Amino acid sequence: MSATQGALALVADDDAAIRDFLGTLLRLEGLFLQVAVAADRSLAMDLALEYKPKLILMDYSMPGLAADVFVARVRKELPASAIVLMTSAHFVQDKAGELGLTLYLCKPFDVRALRDMVRACVQNTAVPAA
């Protein structure tokens, strides 16, 4: 699969190792040529508004804007951006539901499930269950 031309992904996670891993994976898999990273949701919001990413991978527990505020603002100002919630909590599906999100991954996540979800978002097709 070729990288999405001109599209950018945004990885928002306060864990540097996860940010680096996801950014590298998205580029090496040829899914995105450009990946922006943020260690908190306030910076993630600034980057999202500036670069208008096609995909946002967002950790649930991190500093900055509250998750619900971030999601509401992205939906209002960047309706074409897909948001995938990531968390190590066993209740990821509940948290995603509270935020009105249908895309989520539980950490540690299966790399194959992550790739399938990202590919589906990029191609705007039905997203497989994680």
Burial tier of 28 (Cβ tally within 10 Å: 0-12, 13-18, 19+): exposed
The yes-or-no verdict on residue 16 having pLDDT over 50 is yes
Domains of the chain: 4-123 (3.40.50.2300)
Give the residue-averaged pLDDT of 46-52. Answer: 95
The yes-or-no verdict on residue 27 having pLDDT over 70 is yes
Rounded CA gap, 5 and 9, in Å? 12
User: What pLDDT is recorded for position 32?
Assistant: 85
User: What pLDDT is recorded for position 2?
Assistant: 44
Please tell me which residue, 117 or 67, carries the higher pLDDT value. 67
User: What pLDDT is recorded for position 124?
Assistant: 67
User: What pLDDT is recorded for position 6?
Assistant: 53
Q: Please, which contacts does 82-86 make with residues 24 or more away whose CB atoms are closer than 8 Å?
A: 82/54, 82/55, 82/56, 82/121, 83/56, 83/58, 84/55, 84/56, 84/57, 84/58, 84/117, 84/118, 84/121, 85/58, 85/60, 86/13, 86/18, 86/57, 86/58, 86/59, 86/60
Model pLDDT for residues 74-103, shown as the tens digit of each residue: 999 999 999 999 988 777 888 888 888 888
Rounded CA gap, 85 and 28, in Å? 22
The yes-or-no verdict on residue 129 having pLDDT over 50 is no
Lowest mean pLDDT among 43-52, 98-107, 117-126: 117-126
Asked whether the beta carbons of 94 and 74 are under 8 A apart, the reply is: no
The yes-or-no verdict on residue 41 having pLDDT over 50 is yes
